[in-house]
Amino acid sequence: MLNPSGIAAYSVAPAGAVGDVLDAGRFPLVPGGDRSILLGNPLALRRRGRYGLLFLDAHTDFQQPEAEPAGEAASMEPAPATGRGPGVLGDPEGRRPLVRDEDVVALGFRDTEESAAAGTQPLPAALHAMGPGAVRARGADRAARRAVGLLAGAGAGYWGHLDADVLDDALMPAVDHRIPGGLTWEELETVLRTALGGPGAAGFDVTIFNPRLDPDGSVAARPTACLVRALAPED
């Protein structure tokens, strides 16, 4: 893995900032580029108790280092978050794991064949996985409610992670690693409104939108509007 010590050291800073927002009784929203920003957020929560993780992403990102030729932490961040990988990342501050396997719901992923071809380790048996087909079979609202119910076992609440590539590839071209298919805008907004509108949601991060692939800003307008509507309080 590239620079695990640097990533571990960096993660302490957002963990502190997120913790300050939590201690003020507010809802932290963390925008970022690389998915490895995820690691500081569950560290902030782990310092305060047992929390879950709602992982909205086209990729399960559970690669082990030998299956990731570029060594990017962004392809494996849920692994150290659940206590796997290099000790400096997998056991920050001696708090392994930051999130238990059974307290993770991966929703919207569609990289099963790609992961298998790369030799990626299988997802932990206790981790809850729900691809786009399962979301549509239940309906986005029911799927999100199911996810929230599964995350209730964590007790203290859960963090939400959104990678922009969870959206249908035709709708979201400004991402680095594209896979056909994905959620519609309406499905994503419904999932976010349902999952983040309840008392269990502790915070939220948004990653991977690449502004270099959106030079005139036209693509960014749609996810911005989607997030504003999803996070707006109910009337």
| pTM for the structure as a whole | 0.94
> For tokens 């990289």, what's the residue?
111
pLDDT number for residue 113: 81
Nearest to 103 by CA among 86, 88, 81: 81
Beta strands in the chain (DSSP E): 29-31, 52-56, 104-107, 128-130, 158-163, 201-207
* pLDDT values of the chain reduced to their tens digit, one per residue, 235 residues: 888 889 888 899 999 999 999 999 999 999 987 778 888 999 999 999 999 999 999 988 887 777 777 778 877 888 889 998 777 888 999 999 999 999 999 999 998 888 778 778 888 999 999 999 999 999 999 999 999 999 999 999 999 999 999 999 999 999 988 899 999 999 999 999 999 998 999 999 999 999 999 999 999 999 999 999 998 887 6
Q: What is the CA radius of gyration of the chain?
A: 16
Phi, psi of 53 (to 5 degrees): -140, 120
SS3 80: helix
Domain coordinates in residue numbering, the chain: 4-231
CATH superfamily of 4-231: Ureohydrolase domain (3.40.800.10)
The identity of residue 119, as a single letter, is G
